[in-house]
Amino acid sequence: MARNPSIFIDGESGTTGLQIRARLANHPHIAIRSIAETDRKDPAAKRRLMEQVDAVVLCLPDTGAKEVAAIAAEMGDAAPKLLDASTAHRVDPDWVFGFPELTEGHAAKIAAAKRVANPGCYPTGGIALLRPLVDAGLIPKDYPITVNAVSGYTGGGKSMIAEFEEAKTAGPFFLYSLQLEHKHVPELQLYSGLTVRPIFVPSVGNFAQGMLVSIPLHLDTLPGKPKAADLEAVLADRYAKSGWVKVMPADGAQRLEPLALNGSNMLELRVYGNAKHNQAVLVAKLDNLGKGASGAAVQNLGLMLNVDVDAALPLGIAAE
């Protein structure tokens, strides 16, 4: 009888690591191994544990993720599979980008990979909206794109959580990264298929989890002057077989809130259009800690370890 695969979450006390562990804590076919607190920064102890597991999830700062990747490289064929939740390897050609819905057949690439880079929360929404439209030629690769997004404050990690929940100094809402150098832009551009760097304007609201990513478009500047319905049809066709990405009809509502998918691995896409003005806005809704982080990680682990993890994905840990 084959043994169950085992994983080590390096950085399991962080926001993403905690939620990955919570989602998999009762999984019948995945064993979670932990390192002793005293050995957490000991490379030799870490390597010994890596020799005993099938996969390591890196919930670490970029520098720490690179250090563990170097240990794995030294181990050669004996190294476990790596799933990196940091930004260290997302545009590295030697790592497979961990968005299974990116293109047809991409999930199989993740399943076969030894090293997978989990996507960022903001790029998950932006790429899901843009890539099918770029592939279909409705949006040119060199089109000037602007991406606006708002996230729950848990996306900023422990320091930002403390600003909102303990110090209460953050205020109700703020824009940030106004020097236009956000670390998610390279992956957003690369995997959307764009040749021109998009403008990305992120923001944070006074809520724990949830995310909206929006992309405004002047339809009469696009090739063939498509209608909003044309954009929606391309998206619907691309994700027709997806269990986690759903294209929702624009229902005429004047508001869209960001919290409804909290605790799940779902990603919802919508196209809102105004035929009179030839304008549209593409919108993605997701849980920044679900499909934007820990949910995506669990989905990728399922592919990498050939284990059914669907039961662990819709539940998660919703914001209080």
Structure tokens at 293: 């982080």
Q: Which residues contact 306 (CB under 8 A, 6 or more apart)?
A: 111
Q: CB neighbours of 221 closer than 8 A, spacing ≥ 6?
A: none
Instruction: Determine the Cα–Cα distance for residues 249 and 233; give it in Å rounded to an integer.
Output: 10
Which residue is catalytic, options 60, 69, 121, 212? 121
Cβ–Cβ under 8 Å, residues 177 and 149: no
Own/partner contacts of 235-244, CB < 8 Å, gap of 24 or more, are 235/129, 235/132, 235/133, 235/269, 235/271, 237/132, 238/101, 238/132, 239/101, 239/128, 239/132, 239/269, 242/101, 243/310, 244/101, 244/291, 244/299, 244/313
Specify the 3-state DSSP secondary structure of 62.
helix
> What single DSSP character describes residue 269?
E
What angle in degrees, to the nearest 10, is found between the helix axes of 15-24 and 295-305? Answer: 50
104 by Cβ neighbours in 10 Å (0-12 / 13-18 / 19+) ranks as exposed
- Is 121 among the catalytic positions? yes
7: tokens are 């994983």
Residue 94 CB partners (closer than 8 Å, separation 6+): 115
Residues that are catalytic: 121
